[in-house]
């Protein structure tokens, strides 16, 4: 997380993958120093009230100004857990149900940018076979929420007319901008305002495979990768 060498990890949650299969008596979450192997804090999953015995998760973390780690964990399909270092993990009221959580935290960890995984539905045909046109679907594309209260700050809604998928968004170091995938007839990359969710600019994705989004450490450039293509864009901070 944040290039600090800190990490969020789980231990004893994948017993069914062992050959022979092994029962995990005390599945545990942990914050660790990945450089030294030191466990900074750990907590049994079954002791987190309201979580039960869930083993699958997606996490996003930030190092706060006080140097402590904040981790938001989505346990599909409908549980969101906040864990601040040296405190007890707790569920937070983020009312988004999804089996494929895709999100990132704001730079100070106080807000979470969540993607809606909006896509058209229908049949995908390969090898040149003809299929009916995709069925457009409307709904939430991206949403910014307060982490502790779950309150919606803003939401971007729209219609996906093609088969699309969300990827992890990126937030600029100064927390002014974010990069997201914007579905329409196909996928576009959009530069948006973190203040109000306005789409400031959109452009075609540079390639088709292994797409990822990022900002440079100084926040002056945006990096987009797709397959063997890397596209770098300068950001004009003079105005929105």
User: Which tens digit of pLDDT belongs to each residue from 17-45?
Assistant: 666 776 667 889 999 988 898 999 999 99
| CA triple 178-61-139, angle to 5 deg | 45
pLDDT grade for 54, boundaries at 50, 70 and 90 = confident
pTM of the entire structure? 0.90
Domain annotation for the chain: domains and CATH numbers: 93-234 (2.130.10.10)
Mean of per-residue pLDDT scores for the chain: 89
Highest mean pLDDT among 46-60, 105-119, 172-186, 218-232: 105-119
- pLDDT, tens digit, for every residue of 79-134? 999 999 999 999 999 999 998 999 999 999 999 999 999 999 998 777 777 888 89
pLDDT of residue 16 exceeding 70, the answer is no
Whether 148 has a pLDDT exceeding 60, the answer reads yes
Residue 166 has pLDDT above 80, yes or no: yes
Q: What is the pLDDT of residue 187?
A: 82
pLDDT at 51 over 90: no
SS in 3 state form for the chain?
A: CCCCCEEEEEECCCHHHCCCCCCCCCCEEEEEECCCCEEEEEEEHHHCCCCCCCCCCEEEEEECCCCCEEEEEEECCCEEEEEECCCCCEECCCCCCCCCCCEEECCCCCEEEEECCCCCECCCCCCCCCCCCCECEEEEEEEEEECCCCCEEEEEEEEECCCCCCCCCEECCCCCEEEEEEECCCEEEEEEECCCCCEEEEEECCCCCCCEEEECCCCCEEEEEECCEEEEEECCCCCC
Sign of the alpha-carbon torsion through 29, 32, 37, 40: negative
Compute the average pLDDT of residues 169-181.
Answer: 96
């Amino acid at each position: 997380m944040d290039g600090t060498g800190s990490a969020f990890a789980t231990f004893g949650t994948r017993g069914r993958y062992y050959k022979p299969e092994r029962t995990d008596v005390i599945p545990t979450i942990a914050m660790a120093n990945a450089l030294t192997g030191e466990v900074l804090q750990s907590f049994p999953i079954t002791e987190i009230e309201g979580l039960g015995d869930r083993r699958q998760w997606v996490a996003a973390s930030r190092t706060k100004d006080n140097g402590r780690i904040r981790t938001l964990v989505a346990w599909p399909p409908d549980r969101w857990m906040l864990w601040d270092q040296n405190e007890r993990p707790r569920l937070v009221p983020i009312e988004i149900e999804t089996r494929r959580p895709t999100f990132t935290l704001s730079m100070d960890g106080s807000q979470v940018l969540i993607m809606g995984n909006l896509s058209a539905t229908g049949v995908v045909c390969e090898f040149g076979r003809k299929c009916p046109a995709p069925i457009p679907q409307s709904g939430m594309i991206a949403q910014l929420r307060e982490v502790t209260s779950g309150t919606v700050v803003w939401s971007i809604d729209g219609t996906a007319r093609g088969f699309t998928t969300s990827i992890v968004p990126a937030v600029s170091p100064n927390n002014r901008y974010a990069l997201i995938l914007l579905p329409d007839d196909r996928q576009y990359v959009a530069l948006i305002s973190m203040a109000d969710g306005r789409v400031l600019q959109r452009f075609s994705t540079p390639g088709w495979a292994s797409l990822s989004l990022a900002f440079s450490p100084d926040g002056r450039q945006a990096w987009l990768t797709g397959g063997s293509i890397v596209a770098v864009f300068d950001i004009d901070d003079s105005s929105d």
